[in-house]
Amino acid sequence: MYFADFRGPVPPLPTPVQVERLPDRGTLITLTQERFTASNPAHVALAADVQRRLQDAGMLTPLRPWGT
């Protein structure tokens, strides 16, 4: 996932999530280094945890189209 800087700071996320800052741009979040599969319960649980943390931080609100 990518979040532009205007979305705010990324909250602390659990291991093995990797958070990489892109200077003057935003943040790139990688949930797992292995291929993510919905059939893997650990992947689904990790995704749910990260989603909750990002929602709590207000980062998953809908974007408004430019100029509105």
Tens of pLDDT, residue by residue over 33-53, are: 999 999 999 999 999 999 999
Cα–Cα dist 45/66, whole Å: 34
* Domain region containing 35: 2-56
> Which residue do the tokens 């992947």 mark?
43
Instruction: Tell me how many domains the chain contains.
Output: 1
User: pTM for the whole thing?
Assistant: 0.85
Provide the b/e sequence for 1-15 (b: ≥16 CB within 10 Å): eebeeebeebeebee
Q: Band of the pLDDT at 11, cuts 50, 70, 90?
A: very high
Residue 68, domain member (yes or no): no
Q: In this structure, is residue 66 part of a structural domain? A: no
For residues 33 and 36, what is the distance between their CA atoms, to the nearest angstrom? 8
